[in-house]
Amino acid sequence: MSELGPSPLAAGERNLSVDEARAAIAAVLRPLPRSDSIELPLPEAAGRVLAADLISPIDVPAHDNSAMDGYAFAGSALRADGPTVLKAAGTVFAGKPFAGTVAAGCCVRIMTGAVMPAGADTVVPLELVQVQGAADSGKVHLQPGTLRAGENRRRRGEDLGAGKPALQAGRVLRPADLGLVASLGLTHVRVMRPLKVALFSTGDEVAEPGTALAEGCIYDSNRFALGAAVRRLGMEVIDLGLVRDDRAALAAVIERAVREADVVITSGGVSAGDADYTRDILAQAGDVSFWKVAMRPGRPFAFGPLRRPGAKPGDAASPSWLFALPGNPVAALVTFYAFVREALLVLAGATPAPLPVLSARSTVAIRKRPGRTEFQRAIVEPVSDADGHVGWQVRLFGSQGAGVLRSMSEANALVVLDHEQGSVAAGDAVPVWLFDGLV
Ligand code: AMP
Ligand code: MG
C-alpha cells in the first residue's frame, strides 16, 4: 500500500492501455521548480530548457529600415496622374545612417537594412524605376501605380518590441532560438539545470561488455541504449552499472539512486513471472505501481515516486521518479519512447511539442488485433507515383521479435498501430514515428 499518501496510481498490478498509462504518468509528475536553474553562455545552451520567459531588451529592428535595395523618399510625392520624378541626392548604406534629411522632391539610394533617412517613409525597389543620369545624383522616374506610400519600410520593433517575450519558459532551445537570443544582444540565457537520471540494469544473466561471457549470459545493451537516449535529451546520466539479483545489492543501489537523482531508470526484472527480487525491492522503495500495458513490444512496466532518505510518510515534496522498463532490449527502448521520453522532458521543466507523426503507406498488409498498441520497426522512404508526386512509404522488418536489437538499429522509424486499430491492408496509410529530425 501507498506510504506517500493518496495517489491516482493504484497499487498492485493493473492492465492499462498505452494512453491510460501515459495519462496516469502525466497526472502525477511534478516538474523541477523554475528556480532550479543556471545561467549559461549561448554556445553551451543548445538543447537546454529555458527557465524563464526571455524578455527582449530592445526593439527589433532597432530602427525603421529599408526592406529593399532601391530609392527612399517621402510617399506624399507619389503622383497618380503621371510619372513621379525624383532627384537623387546621395546614397545610404546598411550600418551607415544618412546624415541629412531627404528634401521634398528628392530621394536617396538605399540598401536593404539601411536606416530610413529623415524625410523618407517609402522605398521603391531598383527594378521598378528608370534612372536618368548617375545612380546617386540623376533623375529617378516611377510610373503611376508602381507602389503605395509607406511600402518597403520595415518598422522599428516590427519583429519584436522591447519588453515583449521573445521565447517562453519551457522551450527546448534550438539553433534558431540561440540566433534570436544573440540578435537581442544577449550573451547568456537562464536554463533549467539538467535532470539527473540514475540508470542501472538488473539480472544475473546480464554481463558487462568487455568481460568474458559465461554460458547462458548476454551483454548489457540496455544501459548503453537508454543512457544515450537520455543524454540526447540534454540530461545527465548517473551510471549505476549492473546490479546482481541480490536483495542487499538492489536495496543499496536504489538508496544511492534516490539520494543522487531526480529519476531512476532500470531495466529487467519487472515482469510478473520474474523470479528475481527487483520487483519486491522496487515495491518497498516507494509508491510504485506495476502495470501490464496493452502494447507490443513492452508490457511489464513499473512507475511511481520513490521515497527520498529521511522523507516522512505523506511527504512527497520532491520524490525521485522510478521508471522500470522491461528487460528485452527492443521493449526497453520502445517503452522509453512511449512513456519515459516525454515524462523526462516534463520533469526537466520543458513544454514538449507534440511528437510529429508522419502518415506513410505500408508496403505490406499488417495483421493486428484491436486491444493493444503495436510498435513495429520499419524503414520509411520517399517514393514517387506515376504522376511524379512524392510521398512516403514504410517497409516493416520481417523479424519483430522483442529481443532483436539489430532491427531497432537498422530501422529509422516505428509504425505505431493504436489500441483500436485492426489489420492494415497493403497500401493503407499508417502513423509513423521518425527516429531523426532536422534539428
Ligand atoms: P526480464 O524483463 O528481466 O524478464 O528480461 C527479459 C529479457 O531481456 C531476458 O532475455 C533478459 O536476458 C533480457 N535482458 C534483461 N536485461 C537486459 C539488458 N540490460 N541488456 C540486454 N538484455 C537484457
Ligand atoms: Mg530477468
**Per residue in 135-184, pLDDT tens?**
999 999 999 999 999 999 999 999 999 999 999 999 999 999 999 999 99
For 191-215, the DSSP string reads EEPPPEEEEEEE-TTEE-TTS---T
**Per-residue pLDDT reduced to its tens digit, 79-96:** 999 999 999 999 998 888
In terms of domains, do 312 and 218 share one? yes
Considering the domain architecture, whether residues 198 and 340 belong to the same structural domain is answered as yes
Whether residue 320 sits in one domain with residue 220: yes
Q: From residue 360, how far is each of 28, 201, 337, 374 by CA, in Å?
A: 34, 35, 20, 16
CB 1 within 8 A of CB 289: no
Assigned domain for 387 exists? yes
- Domain boundary (143, 174, 192) is at 192
Whether 172 and 350 have beta carbons less than 8 Å apart is answered as yes
Q: Decide: 326 in ligand 1 pocket, CB within 6 A.
A: yes
Measured in whole angstroms, how far is the alpha carbon of residue 281 from the centre of its chain?
34
Q: What is the pLDDT of residue 231?
A: 97
Query: What pLDDT, on the 0 to 100 scale, is given for residue 385?
Result: 85
- For residue 220 the three cell numbers come to 548489457
- The rounded distance, in Å, linking the Cα atoms of 439 and 47 is 10
Q: For residue 329, is it within any domain?
A: yes
Number of structural domains (the chain) is 4
Give dist(CA 283, CA 257) in Å, integer.
Answer: 15
Cα three-residue angle 112-116-118, rounded to 5 degrees: 160
Ligand 1 pocket, mutate which of 240, 328, 335, 404 (most atoms under 8 A from CB): 328
Output the nine-digit C-alpha cell for 198.
Answer: 540514475
Nearest ligand atom owner, CA of 267: 1
Which residues of the chain fall below pLDDT 50? Answer: 1-11
Residue 423 and residue 377 share a domain: yes
CB–CB of 270/332 below 8 Å? no
Regarding the beta carbon of 297 and ligand 1, being less than 6 Å apart is answered no
**Quick one: pLDDT at residue 9?**
41
Q: Check residue 314 and give its pLDDT.
A: 55
CATH number of the domain encompassing residue 188: 3.90.105.10
Number of residues in the chain: 439
Q: CATH number for the domain including 275?
A: 3.40.980.10
Of 166, 192, 218, the one marking the end of a domain is: 192
* Domain assignment of residue 5, yes or no: no
CB within 8 Å of 312: residues ≥ 6 apart: none
Determine if ligand 1 sits within 6 Å of the CB of residue 203.
Answer: yes
Cell of 310: 529521511
Q: 420: domain range?
A: 357-434
Mutational pocket test of ligand 1: of 206, 293, 325, 409, the residue with most ligand atoms within 8 Å of the beta carbon:
206
127: left (phi over 0), alpha (psi -120 to 50) or beta: alpha
Q: What is the DSSP string of 314-382?
A: T--SSPEEEEEE-SSHHHHHHHIIIIIHHHHHHHTT--PPPPPEEEEEESS-B---SSSEEEEEEEEEE
Q: Report if residue 2 sits inside a domain.
A: no
**229: CA distance to ligand 1 center in Å?**
18
Strands in 93-173 per DSSP E? 106-110, 122-125, 130-132, 139-142, 153-154, 165-167
Instruction: Look at ligand 1, atom 6, and give the residue with the nearest C-alpha.
Output: 327
Q: What is the pLDDT of residue 14?
A: 80
Q: Does residue 127 sit in the same domain as residue 19?
A: no
Q: Which residue has the cell 520513490?
A: 306
**231 residue type, one letter:** R
Looking at the CA of residue 328, tell me the nearest atom of ligand 1.
8
Specify the pTM: 0.89
